[in-house]
Chain A
Amino acid sequence: EAGVAQSPRYKIIEKRQSVAFWCNPISGHATLYWYQQILGQGPKLLIQFQNNGVVDDSQLPKDRFSAERLKGVDSTLKIQPAKLEDSAVYLCASSLSPSFFGSYEQYFGPGTRLTVT
């Protein structure tokens, strides 16, 4: 079974530039997550999709970050314009749809390491 795919793996940009990340979840997984992981910290949820609808984007800095999941499969996360504090690893994860009793395990992609200079 193929895992979660992400690209690019690494990206270096200057502040105020734009960047986009792509994620392809595991086939059949309706739920997709984007996390930001700053060095030495745990993953912080930016946005959660259920199919192509947004379930939670309460921690997404909407003035500069945007995400979409067209057709309920692939997803892109965009930062425009980037700031120095956006330097982090951006992780995409997918899972089966959460049940009434809780959540299913999340499968993470390899992540995109973003450096903003």
Chain B
Amino acid sequence: GQQVMQIPQYQHVQEGEDFTTYCNSSTTLSNIQWYKQRPGGHPVFLIQLVKSGEVKKQKRLTFQFGEAKKNSSLHITATQTTDVGTYFCAGQGAQKLVFGQGTRLTINP
């Protein structure tokens, strides 16, 4: 079945450093979504990418969708303590949305 893998599983950075998480799907996706889950909270939608090679920006966050529509990345420039949390990608396959295991970001102020 469809699998979505994320790396790294954990990332600890100093405040102000950049952060990137990568997402890979075993199958071609129709779209990919990114969610953020704060500690003790629930996933909150960040963005959806649909087109091959698409790049979208939200302030310090940059999201990319691969040309083959099987991988994606999220890059945060100059992290802030408010960026702490777990970032999940979720790939939409033929039948359903499958979540990756997430990348947990912690930040040293």
Q: A103 to B99, Cβ gap below 8 A? A: no
Q: Mark B4-45, 1 if CB is under 8 A from A, else 0.
A: 101000000000000000000000001101000000011111
Q: How many residues of B contact A (CB 8 A)?
A: 23
- The B contact surface, by secondary structure, is strand
A41 partner, pick from B41, B43, B44, B102, beta carbons under 8 A: B102
For A35, what are the chain B residues with a Cβ–Cβ distance below 8 Å? 99
Q: Is the CB of B97 within 8 A of A105?
A: no
Contact A45 B43 (CB under 8 A): no
Number of interface residues of A (CB under 8 A): 21
Indicate whether A106 sits within 8 Å of B97 (C-beta atoms), given known contacts A43-B88, A111-B42.
yes
B61 within 8 A of A: no
Contact residues in A for B41 (Cβ distance below 8 Å): 110
Which A residues fall within an 8 A CB radius of B?
Answer: 35, 40-45, 48, 56, 91, 93, 101-103, 105-111
